[in-house]
Structure 1
Amino acid sequence: MTDRTETPETTGTADQSGSSEATWAIELTPEHPPERVADLAAVAEKEGFDVAFTSSHYFNRDPFVVLSRIADATDEIRLGPGVVNPYETHPVKLAAQTATIDEVSDGRAVFGVGAGDRSTLSNLGFERERPLRRVLETFDLARDLWTGETVTHEGTFTARDASLNLEPPSGEIPVYVGAQGPHMLRMSAKHADGVLINAAHPRDLEWAAGELEQGVAERPADRGPFETLAFGAVSVAGDEIDAREAARPPVAFIAGGATEQVLERHDIDREAAAAVSDALERGDLTAAFDRVTPAMIDAFCIAGTTETVADRFEAALTHVDGIVVGSPLGPDLEDAIRRASEALARATDQ
C-alpha cells in the first residue's frame, strides 16, 4: 500500500464522487486486550488508513486506555473514541480524556461523540434525556476547555469553574458526531467538524445526505469544512459465505433496533425484525443471530469478498466523503483489514 497522507482535516466535504481523497477510517472494538487492538491499529496504519476509532461500551475494555496503546503503536494515524456518550461520563471528563490522547499521540486525536445506545444506557440506569442538546453542549464545552478556558455551564449537565490542567498539542481537536436520526444529522452539519453516519447502504446514506444538506445550509461560515463519513458494519473475507456469516451479530443488533421507516426503506419483513428484537431482549443471542435474514445483511452490512465490498464502498462514496470500516471487519481481523484496504483502493481508484 502506498503512503496516504489525507486526513480528516484536509479532506473536508470532498466532491463525494469516490475520488482518491476519500478518508479511510476503521473502527477497532476493544473486545480484545489493548495490546491486540494496538497491533491491529498498526496493521491499519500500514495499510493506509487515516483514522482509527475505538468503540465505547461499558462491557468492553476502556476506549481511552486502548487509545493510549494505539498511540504508542502507531506514528501517523489519527485516533479517537468512536463514539463516547455524555451520560456514562461527565462531559468535562470526556474533554480531559480526549486531550490526554491528543497529548500522548503528539496531536493526532479526534473526538467521536454521540448520544449512546438507549438500551445499553438503560442497563446502567441512565435516561437518555434531550440527547441532541446534550451532545451539542458536550462538544461546545470541550472546545472551550481545549483552548484553556475556565467554564461554567448550566444546561443538560452542570459544570462550575471547570478547567483543564493541560492543553492539547494539536490546538484544535476535530469533533465527529455519531448520528442516525434527522435532527442529530442536521445538528452535526451545523456545528461539528464531521459526522459518523450510522449506516452502510446507499439508500440510507442518500437519505442522510439530504438531512445533512439542510444543516450545512445553516452552518456558520467560520466553522470551516465539514466531513461526512459512513460508519458502516463491514465484513470482508476471501469467501462470501464466511463474510456474511461473520456479519450476523452486528446485523442482529442493527435490525433489532431499526425504526419502522428504515425497515420500510429496505423492504425488511417486520415480523422477521421483531423476532430478532424479541430474541435480543430475552438475551438469547444465538436465536437472534440465527433469525438474521439475507435481506437484513444486505441492508445493514457491507459483506462479501474484496470485490463485492469494493463495489459497495464505491456506491457509498457517491454520498459521503469517506468510509469507517466498522465491526465485525471479518472472520480474520488482520486479513479483513488488508482486504478492506484493497477494497477502498479499488473504490477510490488508487
Structure 2
Amino acid sequence: MPVEIGLGLQSDKPAGAYAALAQAAEAHGFDVLTVFGDLMYQPPIFPLLEMARATSRVRLGTACLNPYSLAPYEIAGQLAALDLASHGRAYLGLARGTWLGAVGLAQLRPLTTIEEAAAVVYRLLRGDRDGYPGRVFTLEPGTALRYAVHRSDPPLLIGAWGPQGAALAGRIADEIKVGGSANPDMVPVIRGRVRVGADRAGRDVEDVGIVFGAVTVVDTDGEAARAKARTEVAMYLAVVADLDPTVALPDGLVQRVGALVDEGAHEAAGRLIPDEVLDRFAFSGTPAQVAAQAQTLIDAGVRRVEFGTPHGLTDDGGVDLLGSAVLPLLRR
C-alpha cells in the first residue's frame, strides 16, 4: 500500500480559511487532511465540512474525537455527515482525549469506552437494530439512525501510544496514530504493540496502518523554523515525553520546561530543548531537513506521515513550502 502524506490542522481559523488551505493542499498532492479535536477549540466538523466542499480527492477526518465529551450516536452522525459531504472520503479518529479534567470529565475505563463507542458507531452506520448491551454504552433493540448514510464502514483510526491502546487498534482499527512524535525508533515499538492485538483477532499486523504526526515548522530559514518548533514542543513535552521508551531525556528537563510553560515563558522553555530531543517530537528546519525526518519514518515502516500545525512561520507559507519543496522530495 502506498505511503500517504497528510496535513494536520488546528480548528482555530475563521470561515473560509480552511477551504483555501484545503484547495492548496490538494493541488500540491497531499493525500489526507486531518483536523485536531483538541479541548476548547472549534468542533472539527466545521472545518472538515468546509474542506469537503472545497476538495474532491483528499481523505478527511478528525484525530481525534473522544467518547467522553461526545456521545457515540453524535459521533456516528458527524462521521456520516462528513462522509456524505465528501462523497465517501471520511475517516473516524477516536482517542481517550487529553486535559478533560479541566471541564470536569473523568476518563474511566478508557479502553472499554473507546472499543464500545466504536461498536455503537458502526452498528448505527450499518443499520443494525439488534441493540448493543455494553458496559459503558448501550443501544436498545430497534434503535437506529433516521437518515441514509453514504457508507457503513468508513475507516477507523485509534489514537494511542501505550501497549493496551495499540493492541486495541490491532484488534479493531484500520490505522493507529501516534501524535506528537517524529521518532523513527518508536515505529517498531508501536508495530510490536499492534501485533499483540492483531494476532488475538486473527488479523495481519500489516492491515493496520501506522500514522506518525507532530508539530511541523518549515522555512528556508531553518534556524527560525527550529526556534518556533521548540516553543511549540515545550507546550506538550510533558504529555509525550514519558510515553516514548526509546528517548532518554536530560535529568530534570521536563520539569524545567513545564515550570516555564506554566509561567507563560514559552520561548524560554523552548530554548531548553536540545536538538536531539526536538527532532524526536517535531518536524522542523529547512525543507530538506523536514523531508529527511519524514523519510526516516517512511523507511521505518509508517503508512502515513502527518505534518501538523503550525506548518511554518505562517500557516499559509508553511503549507505552500511543504507542498512545493518537501512533498517532491518524498515522492521522488
Q: TM-score, normalized by length of structure 2? A: 0.90
1:215 alignment partner in structure 2: 197
Within a 5 Å distance, the mapping from 1:290-309 to structure 2 comes to: 290-309=271-290
Within a 5 Å distance, the mapping from 1:242-321 to structure 2 comes to: 242-260=224-242, 262=244, 265-281=246-262, 285=266, 287-318=268-299, 319-321=301-303
Q: 1:165 aligns with which of 140, 146, 150?
A: 146
1:155 alignment partner in structure 2: 135
Q: Give the SS at the match of 1:85.
A: coil
Cα root mean square deviation, aligned: 2.3
Aligned residues: 327
1:344 alignment partner in structure 2: 327
Confirm whether residue 97 of structure 1 aligns to residue 78 of structure 2: yes
Deviations 1:262-300 (A, max 9, x none): 3x6323113121112233445654554454443431221
Residues 50 and 78, structure 1, Cα contact 8 Å, conserved in 2: yes
- Report % sequence identity: 24
1:49 alignment partner in structure 2: 30
Residues 251 and 296, structure 1, Cα contact 8 Å, conserved in 2: no
Q: Using a 3 Å threshold, how does the CA distance of structure 1 residues 207 and 152 change in structure 2: closer, same or farther?
A: closer
Q: Which runs of 5+ in 2 are unaligned?
A: none
Q: Using a 3 Å threshold, how does the CA distance of structure 1 residues 180 and 32 change in structure 2: closer, same or farther?
A: same
Residues 34 and 61, structure 1, Cα contact 8 Å, conserved in 2: no
Amino acid at match of 2:150: P
Amino acid at match of 2:328: A
Partners of 1:216 and 1:320 in 2: CA distance:
17
Deviations 1:182-237 (A, max 9, x none): 11112102211111122211122232222223333233359993221112222211
Residues 99 and 166, structure 1, Cα contact 8 Å, conserved in 2: no
1:131 alignment partner in structure 2: 110
Q: Which runs of 5+ in 1 are unaligned?
A: 1-10, 12-20
2:123 alignment partner in structure 1: 144
Amino acid at match of 1:95: A
Q: Give the SS at the match of 1:265.
A: coil
Partners of 2:140 and 2:203 in 1: CA distance:
30
Question: Higher mean Cα deviation, 280-289 or 151-160?
Answer: 280-289
Q: Give the SS at the match of 2:302.
A: coil
Q: 2:316 aligns with which of 315, 322, 334?
A: 334
